[in-house]
Amino acid sequence: MIFLSRTIHVAVLTFLVLPIIAIPPAAADTRKQPQAEAGAALARRMLSELKVARALSIRGYTHRRFLPRWAHHRGKCDTRETVLARDGRRVRKNTACHPVKGRWYSPYDGKWLKSERHVDVDHVVPLSYAWRSGASRWSQARRRAFANDLTRPELIVVSHSANIAKGGQGPQSWRPARRAYWCRYATSWITVKHHYRLFVTRNEKKALLNMLRTCRGR
C-alpha cells in the first residue's frame, strides 16, 4: 500500500508539472495578441476623436520654434542624452552625460548600431508635421514641451538613415521599412496627436487605420 501511494503521488505531481513545462514558445507569443488588439482598439477610439482637416501652411515654421536646444532633465543630461541612455544597451556616458559607448536598436529598419554617431533621436510626429497639424497656433513653451516630451511615445532612437528617409512626412507618405513595427508606430503616432489635440488629414487617418490592421494576430 505504501508503494502504491507513492506511485500515485508521483503521478499526480507529473500531471501537475508537465502541462507547464510543455507550453511551446509559439503559445507564449499568442499571449501578446490580446494586448496588441486592445491597444489597437484604444488607438482607433482616440483616432475617431481627432478632428479631420486639411493640413495648414508650413509658412513660418523653423526647427527653432520647437527646439532651440534640448531641455535638461537630470543635472547635465538633456533630452537627447536621456533618450539615448533609455533606449540603448550598456550605454556608457562621460562626465558631461554624453554617450561614448553603447548599442542601439532602430525599430524602423531593424538595424543594430554601435556608434552614437549613427543614431538619431526621432520625433515620431515630426516637428514640421505637428506645425501643420495645429502646433503653429501654440505658445513657444508648449511647442518646446512637445519637442522634449519623455512621457508620450514621441521620442525614439532610430538609425540616421531611417530618420533622413522619413524627414517630415506623415504615415500616408512614409512608413517604417519593418512592417512588424507598423502597429506600434501607428499607436504611438495616434497617442501623441490625441494628447496634444493635433488634427489629422483624411489621407493620414486612412493610412493609420491601415497600419492598425497589422496589430491583429501579433
19, part of any domain: no
Q: How confident is the model at residue 75 (pLDDT cuts 50, 70, 90)?
A: confident
12, part of any domain: no
22, part of any domain: no
* pLDDT score at 25: 37
* pLDDT score at 118: 94
27, part of any domain: no
pTM confidence score: 0.82
Q: How confident is the model at residue 8 (pLDDT cuts 50, 70, 90)?
A: very low
106, part of any domain: yes
CB atoms near residue 42 (< 10 Å): 14
For the CA atoms of 78, 82, 85, 88, the dihedral, rounded to the nearest 10 degrees, stands at: -120
173, part of any domain: yes
23, part of any domain: no
For residue 20, pLDDT over 60 is answered with no
For residue 19, pLDDT over 50 is answered with no
* pLDDT score at 35: 65
27-31, 55-59, 86-90, 160-164: the lowest-pLDDT one: 27-31
Structural domain including 140 reads: 32-215
Stretch 130-149: mean pLDDT: 98
Which residue in the block uniquely carries the three cell numbers 500500500?
1
Q: How many domains does the chain have?
A: 1
91, part of any domain: yes
Stretch 180-194: mean pLDDT: 98
For residue 150, pLDDT over 60 is answered with yes
* Average pLDDT across the chain, whole number: 87
Share of the chain above pLDDT 90, in %: 78
